[in-house]
Structure 1
Amino acid sequence: MTKTKVQESYRMKKSQKIILDCEKQVHLIRFSVKELKTVALKCYGLMFIDNAHLNHSVADNVPFYLFRPNSSVFLGDLNTLYNSSNIFFLSFSSTCLTEIKLEYSNYIIKRKNMKKELYFSTDNYSELFLGSLKILLSLDDSNKEFILNYKVQEFVSYLIKTYGKEVLDFIFTNSNFEPSGFKNLMWKQVLKNHTLEELAYISNMSVSKFKRTFKDIFDDTPINWFREQNILESCKLLENTKISISEISEFIGYQNPSSFIKVFKKYNGITPNEYRERFLVKEK
């Protein structure tokens, strides 16, 4: 976490409320139970109570929580038992769960879980995970957000393997829609060459709803938009590398180089080779 982010979080201390949105894909903060009454979540959240300063009878029963987007977490009830404790809050957008949703793409929800949160008893794994968050929070590392993204995936995967369908139903049940989260999710899929059905699935939507939502947000169809992003990526490769046209076409999802050349010419008015030659001439 940068110094600026810490200051922004604690600047709201007077109102004893923090609002965590999806501006960043993943965000870790620490605060005292005494400092805040409410955390308003616009994204998913994991909350851990640091039990290091609690007596054993209380520490052994400290839960941790998984929250759904658009939840309000009231901390008043925690003040009595854990008033000397720190809270570690790891908020993350739905984008962090993309790989997990693809891994369980055949999962069918048997009962929608509309709860705002799930809570679990602390175990050895969650204690070790909290320890790793403490270390990450103390580091001034530009790669921290990247690491936290993988930590989220690691821990949610552990919860699924330990608690099964309770967690899966919670994740796969549609929650309130986040336009910014949807936009970030789509940008993450560029060059992954998913089908329309796969894109709809990881967005927790039917294909028809996905196409409508995509059009509303990007003012384009998914096919056109992803094709354009792929062509823009190919332009960068033509400008900055010596990779062959056939390799570039395969990299951006075309099985046949001639199909890539045809689409490229439609967008740019010239072939990939001509584009590369013109760029090299400009450099000279």
Structure 2
Amino acid sequence: MPIENIPEIYIKDQKESLDLFVYDFKMTSDVVKSKVNLGMNMFSFLQVGKKQVHFAGTSVSVNKEQSLLLKKGNWLWTELLDTDLVYNCKLFFFSEKILAEFLKKHSQSKNVVIEKPPYFIIKNDKYISSYLNSLSTIGNAPPIFMENLLAVKFEELMLYLLQKYGNKFEDYLHSLVISKSSPFKKIVESTIHSNLKLEEIAFLCHMSLSTFKRHFINVYNESPGKWLKDKRLQKAKETLAQGDLKPTDIYLDFGYNNLSNFSIAFKNKFGISPSEMQA
């Protein structure tokens, strides 16, 4: 699957170096775990549909009741249609330069900010709805005015979210300008309870599949395929032992395409079938 460089693929004049950019993203079919290299931090205002994103070490799902602020970097995006036939999401990109200027002007924080999750969930409300309408309105403004208008709209939005979420949001903004790469082991071990493929995990680690496999063996002294299979089966066993879920509820979550393959792998490892765990 090709890697999409966003927002570059949406910008008509590739020679432009934009600090702020708005794009209306629409689609008419589901997209599952597309590879996205996000070149700028981005607000994703989901208006119609459902969205799930995987980043190094974490994942999050939202519907049209919520929006996301996402950190730049490599993501796996799943975007699903809801009852409507068109998925609709307004994207608002901003550069680190613009963010740093905003923080210098408005931030009161003197604390040392630790690394935060790469996303911030925003609950949609009447203000957000009104704000998105205003963004659509200025989309028809002449290009000569657009840069200044977007600068005003960006500051307005950030001030509102600071007022709404307080220190939690302010600390998150500071974390966006902390240059830290997520440790390899943190990313790998966060994918144990997931159905991500090796190629997708390698992408989140900013590695080719062959480089990822070599590095994995150096770190864990075992092939990634075998290591992940064993860890996921162990996690599946622990999940079934709790008694709340059945094998039919979890096999997809642990990377198996069908219940039969999951049952065979489980029995080969533990000597009993998944259903016997709950007998």
TM-score, normalised via structure 2 length:
0.48
Higher helix share: 1
Higher strand share: 2
Pair member with larger Rg: 1
TM-score, normalised via structure 1 length:
0.47
